[in-house]
Chain A
Amino acid sequence: MAFNHKHLIDITEYSADDIMTVLETAVRFKEVNERRIKQVPTLKGVTVVNMFNEPSTRTRSSFEIAEKRLSANSLNFGGSSTSTVKGESLVDTVETLCAYKIDMIIVRDKHAGVPRKIADVSGAHVIDAGDGKHQHPTQALLDLYSIWEVKGDLAGLKVGVVGDIGHSRVCGSLIPALKIMGCEVTVIAPPTLLPARPDVLGADHVTTKLDEALPELDVVYMLRIQRERLEGAPYPSLREYNMLYGLTKEREPLMKPDALICHPGPINRGVELDSYMADHPKRSVILDQVYAGILTRMAEMYLLLGGSEDGLTA
């Protein structure tokens, strides 16, 4: 396996082989995570900075656990106490971090393009943990892992992504990643929540009719309605959103018997998903996605830092 990436910033720079390498490596870390002592010395002595410039609990926790289980030295840096609040520029902040001689920066920022800028300035390995409305590649990889684990093969799967496509960094990585793996992607959303050019992301089909799309889908990926990220109101009410685009119990008969339900979390119960579907024992892989986040993030850090077989088995 030839994995020659320094960063994980733009999922479109990864080939299908690269992505499979991440997923297969994650399987090996699953074994670690099933042990009583869930820690390996793989990244002992490596310093990883979690630079979260906008509020995040889930993604940051996931990275922190992954770092601890790899024995990396990790530092949480960011939030309201730092840099921008005091008027420091991004470049100055990153240069300050680099003066600590760190090895990797995990970055979450509300502005698009920041991870690349950090990579250009720092020389450290960079993982994009979500930049503005642009990309969120580690989310895409954990999603692929969860689907792959159940379905076995990603190629040819019909995946529907439902909801706020236009303001979603998850889609910015997920849709291209699904295309790289040979899936057929349908985006389902009100026109007010679509990007200007869904085809640029890789969407094969665009529809506003959830009920017409559902019978074809192997995977239904429900997006969170991100009320805090919407300028103006793109739908008249949550009630009507749920009526037109919510995955409700009443819609289950339209789904294939083995169709999966994914969601990046956190869920708005009663809006995009009702509880019956969110908790569906056969269909919902939502908590598996959370677990896959640990496994794939361990795999990504390990691979980007040039992990060897030794490190994995030690």
Chain B
Amino acid sequence: MALLLKNAHVIDPQVGLNETADILVRDGKIVEIGQNLTMEKGVERDLAGKIVVPGLVDMHVHLREPGYEQKEDIASGTRAAAHGGFTAVCCMPNTKPIIDSAVGVEYVKSRAAAVDKCRVHVAGSCSQGLAGETLSEMGDMVAHGAVAFTDDGRGVQGAGMMRRVMDYAAQFDRVVMSHCQDEDLVGAGQVNEGVASTRLGMLGWPAEGEEIQIARDIAICRLTGCPLHVQHLSTARGLELVRAAKAEGLPVTCEVTPHHLFLTEDAIGDDYNTFLKVNPPLRTAEDAAALIEGVVDGAVDAIVTDHAPHTEYEKNCEFELAPFGMTGLETALALVITNLVAPGKITWERAVELMAVRPRAILRVERVALEPGAVADLTVVDPEAAWTVEADGFLSKATNSGFIGAELTGRATDVYVAGYATLEDGAIVE
């Protein structure tokens, strides 16, 4: 079947494209990009005023299935992903049971294929049961399609275990993604240590609790040669460590979330809004500014959501009892456009690198570019669409976004996965 996208503003830094053109897709692949294209038979769409970019990838999401379907499941999570403009996500292994074997990888892949709204790349755990003690069967998981390994949600506590993980993973050409949190130092920390912890009277989660493990894991990367990806980096000094590692030539990459870029600890007021309880915690304005600088200059490789859905009743409680995490799939693109692209801090090309190109490279999945022969994973964006984030506008099962009420500009209108629409004019294609 053929698809012709007419008059779109096509942007892809991989091929140096930034112009108005038509895209012809046949059998799931891009056939031609050029002016005044025609086809004999198929679906034609006029995308004048819209931007088309390589399909966006969110390389850090929690789909919660299996085990926590009350929060989210693969069907609702991938619909939310499509609604947010993503053609692929990478899901974290902290489900119940933990994705620490080929069985788990196959389960998630088969559910995702059945739902068919978004590609789902699976990250397996580094250690069995996320316990940080015994290596998980990485080789078997790779054989069944796992793209990366992480003990996200907890982190590998022992340096010796992390060394084993990275030594072992190095043979598979897969990245080890690190949730950096020293449990002994962080303890029961609730909010950033400093002004917020003092003002709110809660235990602090110090920046150093993250930075110590970033430094440690960079050292183990040097020791083992295994590629390291620092997850949800939240502090200025943490980013400095990553910059230094990159300058040294180590295979180190990092990601940041929209909430660490665009919210700070100051947002947590006397109402103790549990939607703002995230891990790592919202940091200072100086940290957020440093992360934005890294997004602008290239020190940050990827923007991810760490989409962490929770039920209404789990979050409607005492702050100290609430679980960590906020959703993000359906707001990330608009937040990036509103806060970074529209004000001219980054170009569209840079946004595409952060949300499509680099995530695929880090996960070692097939390159998607706007060029003939490439798979037709495409995201269509209306850069002018003005909208307000509302709880009842989400397709995720959860509403625990820290951005409810935010007035944003830009959103995905259409999403194509292998040439098939998953989102059309803002609505999921059933």
Contacts and interface: CB of A to CB of B under 8 A. Distances in A.
- A, B from the same assembly: yes
B276 to A, nearest CB: 12
Contacts of B316: 89, 91
Interface in A209-236: 231
Interface string B199-210: 111111010000
A251 interface: no
B389 to A, nearest CB: 21
Given A91-B316, A200-B195, A231-B188, A112 B200 contact: yes
A174 interface: no
Contacts of A9: 270
Contact of B319 (A111, A195, A198): A111
A186 B298 CA distance: 46
Interface in A58-111: 89-91, 109, 111
Contacts of A114: 318
Contacts of B188: 231
Contacts of B193: 196
B224 interface: no
Contacts of B318: 90, 109, 111-114, 117
Nearest to B316: A91
B40 interface: no
Nearest to A112: B201
B233 to A, nearest CB: 21
A132 B202 contact: yes
Contact of A231 (B187, B198, B199, B272): B187
A195 B321 contact: no
Classify the secondary structure of B's interface with A. loop
B116 interface: no
Given A111-B319, A111-B321, A113-B319, A10 B201 contact: no
B317 interface: yes
A120 B271 contact: yes
A231 B203 CA distance: 10
**Most-contacted residue by chain A among B197, B199, B203, B270 (CB, 10 A):** B270
Contacts of A169: 201
Given A113-B272, A116-B270, A231-B187, A200 B198 contact: yes
A36 interface: no
Contacts of A90: 317-318
A120 B318 CA distance: 13
Contacts of A111: 318-321
5 contacts: A112-B200, A112-B318, A133-B201, A196-B195, A198-B198
Interface of A: 9-10, 89-91, 109, 111-114, 116-117, 120, 131-135, 169, 172, 195-198, 200-201, 231
